[in-house]
Amino acid sequence: MRMWNVSPKQMCNQHLLGEHVECHMFVGCLNKDMSLKGYLNNGLLEIHNLRKRHDLIAKEMKIRNMKHESELEDFKVVKAGKINSKISHDDLIKRCKDCRSLMWNTQKK
């Protein structure tokens, strides 16, 4: 699980949908008082930006005519975690040719 913290416009459908599910999973863990220390320490989660990130992803899903019917549950928001967007960006383009193509095309515009 992770938050990529890159523009949803630059993510392929698989990574976009994956991160959407993971937003819900993070909230579920928070609401069950499960530890997310590893995700926080490894720069994979920003709890304070979780709702904003979910909403950006949901907006992009609607632009792509994907179904979005799952509002994010309420959860206790605390300022915790820091994602390095440059590292996430570089990691994503190494992993996924479709994201790499989208990133290249959106940067050219």
pLDDT at 24 over 90: yes
pLDDT at 109 over 90: no
pLDDT value of residue 23? 98
In the chain, the N- to C-terminal Cα span, in Å, equals 30
Over the chain, what is the mean pLDDT? 94
Give tens-digit pLDDT for 98-108: 999 998 876 65
Q: How far apart are CA 36 and CA 40, in angstroms?
A: 6
Residue 18 CB-half CA count within 13 A: 11
Q: How far apart are CA 70 and CA 86, in angstroms?
A: 29
